């Protein structure tokens, strides 16, 4: 068993690492977007977007339904770009998450104070039918983003992804290593229904050229993830 390292407490609850997420469902989508528009959404100068083609960045949208998580059974929306620290070589690729709305207070405070993630509390609905899932993100009381997609079947094996999430913590650039084991199925991008509403989040996504079909989309259920304690970079 991996030795746990104590970080401290949040709201009287102990925070330890590695942080093991035992079960969650998630959709992940990638969109080709203008690199200059993506750069405009990155705070500070410690990170740069990775260009997947000249002048083109990759927007990553992840919609997460955490079922068994030490920080709560909550919904989360990740909006970020493939990126790297400004002083790193082009072979280094992670994801800078510039927005991370969640729908519970504890995970918001812990994410802010421990990992530097830009979590805010808002309404996020995850609705399931037998063969489809729909996520709705609300921004200041109005619907900002709605994504519906098929619950694609995985082939029964989990794909392991090792990556770093970049952020700022107390003004310092920060990297959180994570490992994901997710049995995911591919979704036809044409089957993804994405609509934008109003508010700052919707307008930011419009500045990137959305709504449009993603380059790729996956759906996975009953995944696992391990988050390590991040470090300044």
Give the tens place of pLDDT for each residue, 88-145.
999 999 999 999 999 999 999 999 999 999 999 999 999 999 999 999 999 999 999 9
Q: Please, are residues 185 and 154 in contact by the beta-carbon 8 Å criterion?
A: yes
Q: Is residue 6 part of a domain?
A: no
Angle, vertex CA 12, rays to CA 6 and CA 17, nearest 5 = 20
- Selection from 84, 37, 78 nearest residue 60 by Cα: 78
Give the tens place of pLDDT for each residue, 156-174.
678 899 999 999 999 999 9
Q: Is residue 145 part of a domain?
A: yes
Q: Is residue 186 part of a domain?
A: yes
- Selection from 78, 97, 80, 99 nearest residue 26 by Cα: 78
CATH assignment of the domain containing 53: 2.40.400.10
Whole-prediction pTM:
0.96
What does the alpha-carbon distance between residue 53 and residue 42 come to, in Å, rounded to a whole number? 19
Q: Is residue 67 part of a domain?
A: yes
Tokens (6 digits) for 186? 């591919």
Give the tens place of pLDDT for each residue, 43-86.
999 999 999 999 999 999 999 999 999 999 999 999 999 999 99
- Identify the domain containing residue 168 by its residue range: 22-232
The number of distinct structural domains making up the chain is 1
> Residue ranges of the alpha helices (H) in the chain?
35-39, 105-110, 200-207
Buried b (16+ CB within 10 A) or exposed e, 99-131: bbbbbbebbbebbbbbbbbbbeebebebeeeee
What does the alpha-carbon distance between residue 70 and residue 19 come to, in Å, rounded to a whole number? 7
Residue 24: partners with Cβ closer than 8 Å, 6 or more residues away: 64, 65, 66, 67, 68, 69, 222, 223, 224, 225
Torsion of CA 165, 220, 130, 103, to 10 degrees: -20
Q: Is residue 3 part of a domain?
A: no
Q: Is residue 4 part of a domain?
A: no
> Residue ranges of the alpha helices (H) in 10-99?
35-39
Which pLDDT band holds residue 226 (cuts at 50, 70, 90)? very high
Whether the ω angle into residue 223 lies within 30 degrees of 0, i.e. cis, is no
Q: Is residue 16 part of a domain?
A: no
Q: Is residue 2 part of a domain?
A: no
Whole-number pLDDT of residue 159 = 83
């Amino acid at each position: 068993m991996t030795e746990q390292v104590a970080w401290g407490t949040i709201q009287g609850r102990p925070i330890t690492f590695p942080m093991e997420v035992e079960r969650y469902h998630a959709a992940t989508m990638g969109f080709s977007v203008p690199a200059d528009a993506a750069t405009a959404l990155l705070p500070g100068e410690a990170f740069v977007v990775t260009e997947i083609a000249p002048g083109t960045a990759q927007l990553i949208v992840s919609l997460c339904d955490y079922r068994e998580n030490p920080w709560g059974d909550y919904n989360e929306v990740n909006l970020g770009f493939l990126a790297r620290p400004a002083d790193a070589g082009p072979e280094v690729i992670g994801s800078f998450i510039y927005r991370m709305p969640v729908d519970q207070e504890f995970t918001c405070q812990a994410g802010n104070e421990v990992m530097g993630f830009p979590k805010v509390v808002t309404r996020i609905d995850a609705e399931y039918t037998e063969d489809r899932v729909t996520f709705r993100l609300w921004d200041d009381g109005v619907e900002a983003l709605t994504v519906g997609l098929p619950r694609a079947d995985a082939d029964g094996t989990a794909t392991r992804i090792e990556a770093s999430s970049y952020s700022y913590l107390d003004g310092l650039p920060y990297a959180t290593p994570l490992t994901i084991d997710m049995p995911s199925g591919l979704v036809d991008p044409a089957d993804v229904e994405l609509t934008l509403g109003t508010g700052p989040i919707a307008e930011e996504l419009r500045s990137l050229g959305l709504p449009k079909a993603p380059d790729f989309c996956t759906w996975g259920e009953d995944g696992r993830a391990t988050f390590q304690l991040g470090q300044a970079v």
